[in-house]
Chains A and B, each alone.
Chain A
Amino acid sequence: MSSNHARPTGPIVIDIENITKEYVMGEEVVRALRGVTLQIRRNEYIAIMGPSGSGKSTLMNMLGCLDTPSSGRYEFNGKNVAEMDDDELAAVRNREIGFVFQTFNLLPRSTSLRNVELPLIYAGIEPERRMERAMQVLRDVGLGDRVHHKPNELSGGQRQRVAIARALVNGPSIILADEPTGNLDSKTGNEIMELLEHLYRRGNTIILVTHERDIAAHARRTVHLRDGVVEMDHAGFIPEIDVPIQATPVS
């Protein structure tokens, strides 16, 4: 295990202690997480890596409050998430977490502006402020001239920018990006990584879930998962350690 000396010292946003998650698939009980302990502080840039079946996706769902652990403690900004009901989880997702998906997940028939507005509607913000805020965030990601375009009128990179704007619009505590460049060519992928780097420098907390080494290399801290436990958690990126992980093909 690597030491933690390079970590930022900001307040703890995510505090996970010994969480487990079990699924019943058919007659089999799948133990996707077998006791994961993790702390993430404000303004960290962390990559979660691991081969297929390592529990990476499950951990991401936990971190994103899309799912609750079977056991263990999960505190988000000091609030116990494990005991929240569906609506409370929805509120946390709305205000504290900005999701960026591999497939962008934009609403196909809505304009960029309407897509970005959506989390503000769920937050109960009045129309004028909604509009103002969405416009501002779209300008921040460099799409000030694309606000009335629908997703099918935008390039892949532009779509992911809209998705990032949507993730940012409620000023979340963390941005949770799941393979954000997975559906993009490498040039566009690099542009997106630059945008995330820019957001990190502006003080955002970014959690990157990926199996690609060169994408993970952008992060300041890497967590390796294997068989539902944290195998390694180290500052920076150590290519020689990461090689064997890459050797396993990931879906």
Chain B
Amino acid sequence: MKRFLYELSESWKIAAAQMRSNLTRSTLTALGVIIGIIAVTLMGTAVNGISIGFDKSMAVLGDDVLYVTQWPWKPVDDWWNYRDRKKIKTDYAETLKRMIAATPNSNLITAVPTSNFMRSVKYGGNQVDNVFVLGTTSDFIITSTIECTAGRFFNELESRGGANVVVIGYDVADALFPSQSPLDKSVLINGQLFKVVGVNKRQGTFLGLFSWDSMVAMPLAAFNKYFSAKTESDVRVKVKDKTRLNDARDELTGLMRRVRGLAPEKKDDFSINEQQAFKSTLDPVKNSIAIAGLFITGLALFVGAIGIMNITFVSVKERTKEIGTRKALGARRRTILLQFLIESTALCLFGGFIGLVFAYLMCFGIGQAFPSFPIHFSLGLVIVSMIVSVFTGLFSGFAPAWTASRLDPVTALRYE
């Protein structure tokens, strides 16, 4: 064991001396690993960022809200079984709300209807297309993480009365009112004027996933008044305790069956969804992006590894006589193996470290230049890329080191 440690420290010294004396060669070879590590690290930060972006978008849905919908939030093979289901009506929300209030120790807090439609929104000469127009009640803020930077969400009075008021998303406000406050201005939606009472806080968009930034919310009564029947409606139900989501779900299923008046033998003709279900359909997408990205950048690292392998083979060839001498002096096979493995590993660690520094600087630069770009540099990434460097070194050094360790001492000593 002690001997192993001495041989190990000896190998590190040789590796350091070797790199110093062949500085140009070592640097050029390490360049492959440097580029590989930069590629892998940047991809890692992007994957990290994507993951965080997904989670942020998910947070919009809320982890304590159940969604009553016609279609489930997951791909289905038997779509015909869902197609003919009755639509979810917005008045279910009112019924559910009364039932929840009547249930002692209910797991649910309240139910909120939502209807939506894609429409253009205009103000003066400015127009924003494909805005997600949401009709709901003033209770909506209970079920949502939504916050207003200016103004307020519409109140119960406006909600019940179906007043022509809207709360607009950050991007909509930005596009329609580039240089003035949108509050108390009237925007045109589907030929109707709506007064802006609030602007949502910026949430940030990510890969075109849903974001409050490009949304407009108005009282459901107003929505129903001006927009024809072909809208999608859901009911959102806020849960008391998100750790007891399953109980809440069961309770809600029971309530919905009563609303729909289903006989006990009938199957549910509605779906109850939660953020988690959505997540589990999106996770494979996220993972494939990560795997594909890391695989492609991994190829860059692989090319770097081949460079290291090549130079280690050259090093073994050049120092054949030295290997013979070392063997004559009592170096065992594994001593020689260790020596060259450490040499290639040291080279990879050197490259990995420099690559990491570059990657960090690049991340920093990208973060400064494009604040919205999802990039996330972490300590875990540093550790992982160092481990990757070590394994790259071991992988690329193994074949040459093995060749060196198997050299016949007589042949090696005679080599010129």
Contact = CB atoms under 8 A, between A and B. Distances in A.
A105 B21 contact: no
Given A66-B413, A121-B6, A86 B333 contact: yes
Contacts of A93: 327-330
Question: Which one of B21, B327, B330, B335 has the greatest number of beta carbons of chain A within 10 Å?
Answer: B330
Interface string B319-344: 00110111111111101000000000
A67 B410 contact: yes
A107 B408 CA distance: 19
Nearest to B406: A86
Contact of B7 (A95, A101, A109, A122): A122
B10 A121 contact: yes
A152 B191 CA distance: 93
Interface in A109-131: 109-110, 118-119, 121-127
A119 B17 CA distance: 19
Contacts of A122: 3, 7, 326, 329-332, 335
B230 interface: no
A99 interface: yes
Instruction: Report the contact-size class of chain A (Cβ under 8 Å from the partner).
Output: 20 to 34
A55 B143 CA distance: 94
A30 interface: no
B267 interface: no
Contact of A87 (B7, B21, B328, B332): B332
Interface in A140-193: 166, 170
A70 interface: no
Contacts of A101: 325, 413
A87 B330 CA distance: 9
Contacts of B3: 122-124
A99 B328 contact: yes
Interface string A83-114: 00011001101110001010001010110000
B2 interface: yes
Contacts of B326: 118, 122
A94 B333 contact: no
B333 A107 contact: no
A109 B330 contact: no
Contact of B410 (A66, A86, A121, A126): A66
A95 B330 contact: yes
B333 A118 contact: no
Given A67-B410, A124-B3, A86 B332 contact: yes
A228 interface: no
Contacts of B10: 118, 121
A225 to B, nearest CB: 17
Contact of A107 (B6, B325, B327, B332): B325
A69 interface: no
A87 B324 CA distance: 14
A91 B330 contact: yes
Contacts of A166: 329
A67 B410 CA distance: 7
Contacts of B410: 61, 66-67
A50 interface: no
B7 A107 contact: no
B409 interface: yes
A64 interface: yes
A124 B329 contact: no
A9 B326 CA distance: 34
A118 B7 CA distance: 10
Contact of B329 (A61, A67, A118): A118
A66 B322 contact: no
Given A67-B410, A107-B322, A126 B329 contact: no
B321 A105 contact: yes
Max chain B C-beta neighbours (<10 A), residue from A64, A90, A109, A170: A90
Contacts of B335: 122
A64 B325 CA distance: 12
Interface in B36-94: none
A109 B21 contact: yes
Interface in A63-86: 64, 66-67, 86
Given A66-B409, A67-B410, A119 B21 contact: no
B342 to A, nearest CB: 14
B413 A90 contact: no
Given A66-B409, A121-B10, A94 B329 contact: yes
A64 B329 CA distance: 10
Given A61-B410, A87-B333, A124 B328 contact: no
A119 B330 contact: yes
A87 B3 CA distance: 14
Contacts of B7: 121-122
Nearest to B416: A103
Interface in B1-51: 2-3, 6-7, 10, 17, 21
A94 to B, nearest CB: 2
B325 A105 contact: yes
A121 B325 CA distance: 14
B325 to A, nearest CB: 4
B396 to A, nearest CB: 23
B14 to A, nearest CB: 9
A95 B332 CA distance: 13
Interface string B299-328: 000000000000000000000011011111
Interface of A: 61, 64, 66-67, 86-87, 90-91, 93-95, 99, 101, 105, 107, 109-110, 118-119, 121-127, 166, 170
Interface of B: 2-3, 6-7, 10, 17, 21, 321-322, 324-333, 335, 408-410, 413
20 contacts: A66-B327, A66-B328, A86-B333, A87-B333, A90-B331, A93-B328, A93-B329, A99-B328, A99-B329, A101-B413, A105-B325, A105-B328, A107-B325, A119-B329, A119-B330, A122-B331, A124-B3, A124-B6, A127-B6, A166-B329
Given A94-B329, A94-B330, A123-B3, 5 more contacts: A66-B327, A90-B333, A105-B321, A118-B326, A119-B329
Counting from the closest, the 5 A-B pairs by CB-CB distance are A94-B330, A124-B3, A122-B330, A105-B325, A90-B332
